[in-house]
């Protein structure tokens, strides 16, 4: 928050309260998210943050796929929600059934069957999602 204030960057923070969270959530959930109005603001924030002594002392305590672009051992940039991207990627692996429908496995390994138009709409959404690495590098 100090860095955002110093750099005058509008930002929204989401922090997972680890004391109030269920143990299963702590392994899989993102603990801290900063939302920016633009990738330019995100880059300015990151460039300033990584220079701070506090950030330099931070050590990662887990490895997690955030469906984004990994900037360093701690920070990731993801334009778009991890949950959306992961869901669409599960649908992308769907198997086409003889009747023209598609079946894929949910996050909890339950089979879900959708129609071909639904499958095509989901694939269009996946293709339309920005690539986090390209977005970051082209900003």
Q: How many helices (H) and strands (E) does the chain have?
A: 7, 7
pLDDT for 17 equals 62
Question: Which of 60, 59, 65, 58 is closest to 29 using CA atoms?
Answer: 65
pLDDT for 57 equals 93
Count of Cβ atoms closer than 10 Å to residue 33 Cβ? 15
What is d(CA 78, CA 101) in angstroms, rounded to the nearest whole number?
31
pLDDT in tens, the chain (139 residues): 888 889 999 988 776 666 665 555 555 555 667 888 899 999 999 999 999 999 999 888 777 777 788 999 888 898 766 678 889 999 999 999 999 999 999 988 999 999 999 999 999 999 998 888 998 999 8
Q: What is the pTM of this model?
A: 0.67
For 23, the token pair is: 């143990």
């Amino acid at each position: 928050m100090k860095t955002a204030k110093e750099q005058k960057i509008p930002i929204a923070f989401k922090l997972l309260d680890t004391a109030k969270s269920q143990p299963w959530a702590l392994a899989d959930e993102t603990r801290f998210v900063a939302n920016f109005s633009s990738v330019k603001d995100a880059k300015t924030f990151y460039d300033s943050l990584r220079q701070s002594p506090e950030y330099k002392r931070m050590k990662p305590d887990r490895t997690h796929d955030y469906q984004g672009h990994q900037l360093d051992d701690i920070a990731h940039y993801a334009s778009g929600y991890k949950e959306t991207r992961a869901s669409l990627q599960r649908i992308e692996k769907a198997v086409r059934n003889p009747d023209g429908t598609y079946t894929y496995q949910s996050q909890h390994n339950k089979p879900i069957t959708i129609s071909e138009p639904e499958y095509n709409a989901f694939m269009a959404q996946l293709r339309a999602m920005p690539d986090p690495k390209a977005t970051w590098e082209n900003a």
